[in-house]
Amino acid sequence: MDIIAEQLHCTTVMLIGSDQQRLITAARTALEAGLGVYIRPHVPDLAQPKLLAHLDAVAQAAEELRQDHPEKLTLLVGSEFSHTAPGIVPGPRSFLRLKLILRYRRMLRRRINRRLHDLLTAAAATARRRFHGPLTYSAAGWEDVDWTLFDLVGVSLYRGRRNQATYTDRLRGLVREHVKPVVITEFGCGAFTGADQRGAGSFQIVNWFAATPRIRGDHPRDEAVQARYLGELIDQYNAEGVHGCFVFTYAMPDFPHRNDPQHDLDRAGFGVVAVSEDGSCRPKQAFHEVARHYGNFAGHDDPASGTRR
């Protein structure tokens, strides 16, 4: 947290996880480091009644912490419920539901919107019974959310080949259409040639079914691609009046950096820090690019420049 605050010059961190106690402990540590905190419970594939019960417990713990740190805590009710929560589209697992949405999104749109609205209405009511600070949600790009339920508009907005031509219009539309502050809850890409064209799909160059997961095909490591992508979008968000943005992400230990190019999974991950198998960490070019941009905001009213952790 000290590195995120002092070296990356972040003002805010988003904490994501399923363990309530770890979330609150991490939030307390971040607050002590001088960071604002967005708490985001993440319990994919949990049945909706249990999801709401978990949210209720997190909201209560978050409110207790908020009372000691007013104006510093924001709670998210969750993220991308259209595939992370069972019951909105068919499928036993989040990954399979996501594949179904990506393939048949137009056919499923009305069903997604109707069932998503019902769940978000219940989630917002559950959270507000306990938590009395700002509330939001991390929406997928295809989700149509009723933002009257929340205090901020939160959208994951990756740029890639498919939406490159329309990305700026989409961003401007979000800011123009909403009186409430707009926060980009995720953006990022991998660190290899062409990762900027893949955006959120950067991880797909990994063959996860191999005995030891390995990189498919020829994707040379190129940290400059990731650094340039993040820098461009931070500048764009600032120019378009976005309230805040969260780089995805600080580090991904499940995508270890290895010297063997075929098994260097870090290039397919989104971390601005590379983590080796022995646990050692190294800042990537993206780390220094993010630090430079956020450092330029120091002393200005920039409420939520941050990174996910």
CATH number at residue 236: 3.20.20.80
Q: Is the peptide bond before 249 cis (omega within 30 degrees of 0)?
A: yes
Considering the domain boundaries, does residue 109 fall inside one? Answer: yes
**CA 280 to CA 82: how far, in whole Å?**
36
> Apex CA 66: angle with CA 241 and CA 73, to 5°?
20
The total number of structural domains that make up the chain: 1
Tell me the pLDDT band of 275, cut-offs 50, 70 and 90: very high
Residue 199 within a domain: no
- CB of 255 within 8 A of CB of 269? yes
> Do 173 and 113 touch, CB atoms closer than 8 A?
no
Domain assignment present for 120: yes
Residue 259 lies in a domain: no
Q: ∠208-214-216 over CA atoms, to 5°?
A: 90
Q: How confident is the model at residue 305 (pLDDT cuts 50, 70, 90)?
A: low
* Overall residue count recorded for the chain in this entry: 309
The whole model's pTM is what? 0.93
Concatenate the DSSP letters of all residues of 16-80 into one string.
EES-HHHHHHHHHHHHHTT-EEEEEE--TT--HHHHHHHHHHHHHHHHHHHHHSTTSEEEEEEE-
In a domain, 236, yes or no: yes
Domain that holds residue 149: 2-192+221-251+282-308
Alpha helices in the chain (DSSP H): 2-6, 20-32, 48-68, 81-84, 94-130, 167-177, 195-198, 223-240, 285-296
Residue 82 lies in a domain: yes
Give yes or no for a contact between 305 and 11, defined as CB atoms under 8 angstroms apart.
yes
Question: Using alpha carbons only, how large is the chain's radius of gyration in Å?
Answer: 19
Q: For 124-147, what is the mean pLDDT? A: 97
Q: What is the pLDDT of residues 67-87, one digit of tens each?
A: 999 999 999 999 999 999 999
238 is a domain residue: yes
Please say whether the beta carbons of 80 and 112 come within 8 A: no
CB 242 within 8 A of CB 183: yes
Taking only the tens place, the pLDDT of each residue in 147-189 is 999 999 999 999 999 999 999 999 999 999 999 999 999 999 9
**Mind listing the pLDDT tens digit for each residue in 96-126?**
999 899 888 889 999 999 999 999 999 999 9
Whether pLDDT at 190 is above 60: yes
72, 133 in Cβ contact below 8 A? no
Residue 180 lies in a domain: yes
